[in-house]
Amino acid sequence: MSSKSNPRHYPAALTSRLSSVAYVVVGTALALMALAPIIYIVIRSFLPASADVDGLGVGTIASLTSENYELIFSSGVGVVQYATNSAILAMSCAVLVAVISTLAGYSLARFSSRGTDIVFIILLAPLVVPFQGLLPPISIVLGKLGLLDSLLGVILVIVTLQIPFATFVMRNTFEGLPIEIEESAQIDGAGIGRRLWSVMLPLVWPGIITVFLFGFMAGWNDLLGSVVFLSTPAKYTLPIALTTITTSLQLPGIQIVDPGLLTATACVATIPVIALFLSLQRYYTRGLIGGSIK
């Protein structure tokens, strides 16, 4: 009986196997397509300026050199100073965004009243206004505060722009937790600060990591704010460096982009973000999903 019924399962088993193979093949192809530009940039960063003329081929490996990295890390270029400024900017934004949005999200989620929803809507309102349209009034405010041409001024601007979305994520994250957990701690005599620190924070770490990553990437990748609000070269960040140290006046009055320096600087600017994301990706995925829906 069983031997006669076995052939009936062959089409289903074959279809399942073909689906698995197709999934692997298509997934691998899409992954290679996504990685191809990154691989090219990494390889190009180790090639001399003449590589674009000669073309990439089998003999490319023989011409690999670290000259581009030696040049951008030399004392005359100052990429270390640019990277330091970007690190200060990114970490400050990440920490401030995480702390402020966590406190704001907890307040909006647990201390609800008639005006809470109105406050939340007002908080989200800046998301619909383009950053470019806010530059003139922000410049005036920073000028009156004496924060133009300072990293602190850029940090405050980026944090202010990131707070609405980060608060939205953290509010939904807190609302996704059963309120009974906090009520049990309150019955045991825990105050608001104790409940937030000891009970709630360990449960919302994925959301905190998510807004931390968003704040870090906003600060690390910021170009427009740094270009507008910074004027001293010693305070420039890596995104500005991509437009300054990758050009040279090789022809009278004409700036020529050096692809080797450009790709090498791009690799240096990308490594911290990739490393941070890969180390925290499991928290990021859970936090983004949990903080985006209720």
The answer on 189 and 44 residing in a single domain is no
The answer on 180 and 253 residing in a single domain is yes
The answer on 14 and 139 residing in a single domain is no
SS (H, E, C) 231-263: CCHHHCCHHHHHHHCCEEEEECCEEEECHHHHH
Of the two residues 21 and 78, the one the predictor is more confident about is 21
135-189 pLDDT per residue, tens: 888 999 999 999 999 999 999 999 999 999 999 889 888 888 888 877 787 787 7
Burial of 159: CB neighbours in 10 Å, binned 0-12, 13-18, 19+: buried
The answer on 115 and 79 residing in a single domain is yes
Distances (CA, A) of 18 to 29, 32, 121, 211, 243: 16, 21, 50, 40, 49
Instruction: Report the C-alpha gap between 116 and 49 in whole angstroms.
Output: 59
The answer on 208 and 280 residing in a single domain is yes
Residue 78 has pLDDT above 80, yes or no: no
109 Cβ partners below 8 Å, 6+ apart? Answer: 170, 171, 172, 174, 175
Which of 69, 100, 126 lies at the terminal end of a domain, its last residue?
Answer: 69
DSSP string, 156-208: HHHHHHHHHHHHHHHHHHHHTS-HHHHHHHHHTT--HHHIIIIIIGGGSHHHH
90-149 pLDDT per residue, tens: 999 999 999 999 999 888 888 777 777 788 788 887 778 888 888 888 999 999 999 999
CA angle 31/36/37 to nearest 5° reads 125
Distances (CA, A) of 186 to 5, 117, 196, 246: 62, 25, 11, 59
Domain that holds residue 187: 71-292
* Amino acid code (one letter) for 46: F
Which of 18, 40, 69 lies at the terminal end of a domain, its last residue?
Answer: 69
**Model confidence, pTM:** 0.81
* Amino acid code (one letter) for 150: S
The answer on 128 and 53 residing in a single domain is no
